[in-house]
Amino acid sequence: MRTPCGNVYSHDHLKKVAETARKQGIMVITNDQTIFGDNPFVPMGKFATIVPVLTLGGISKGWVVPGWKIGWIALSGSIHLDITPDPSTIIQNRPSSFEFTVRVFLISVSIPLPPLHHSIEKGDKKFFAKKNERLKHNVDLACGRLKDIPCLVCPKKPESCTYLLVKIL
């Protein structure tokens, strides 16, 4: 699991997140993608025996194609869903101890679909490794150069992001 700030959490920390969510009677919603730091990737779905997990994914970040509004939702754990035929589908989960409602907007573009199909079907791990290498290089470069600017500070070097959050002093 990663955060918008690029933090990547350990197995033990994520397990505590799952246990806390269970105690609170809520599910976990996560966006597991692009990890390039030293901490190992632990998918939040691994804790679906503790708490239901909804994982969001998308083409724009995974395949580096900004603007492609194509994505998916993966459900892990014991979740029963009722999906209405409304275009802005309402998904409702009503197992014994959890209740939530998520509004899902299915947005797609038609022009890029043929190359997308090819990329997903024929894509190889080298592409993603190279993409992650490039992102790590860019983060290292940006953080290194920020050290030379006294009024800007990056509080924590991200391990998973496509941007930096910088503090202005």
| Residue 2 counted as domain residue | no
Q: In total, how many domains does the chain have?
A: 1
| Residue 41 counted as domain residue | yes
Q: Which domain holds residue 150?
A: 11-78+109-168
| Residue 84 counted as domain residue | no
| Residue 96 counted as domain residue | no
**DSSP characters over 51-98:** S-EEEEEEHHHHTT-TT---EEEEEESS--EEE-SSSS-EEEE--SS-
| Residue 33 counted as domain residue | yes
What integer pLDDT is reported at residue 89 of this predicted model? 46
Tell me the pLDDT of the chain (169 aa) as tens digits.
455 667 788 899 999 999 999 999 888 888 766 677 777 888 888 898 898 888 877 777 677 776 776 777 777 776 655 444 454 444 444 444 344 434 344 445 555 566 666 666 666 678 778 888 888 899 899 999 999 999 999 888 888 776 788 889 8
What integer pLDDT is reported at residue 94 of this predicted model? 45
| Residue 24 counted as domain residue | yes
| Residue 3 counted as domain residue | no
| Residue 4 counted as domain residue | no
**Rounded-to-integer distance, Cα 25 and Cα 101, Å:** 13
Alpha helices in the chain (DSSP H): 11-24, 59-62, 113-122, 125-146
Alpha-carbon distances, residue 119 vs 47, 96, 102, 139, 155 (angstroms): 30, 40, 29, 26, 36
What integer pLDDT is reported at residue 109 of this predicted model? 53
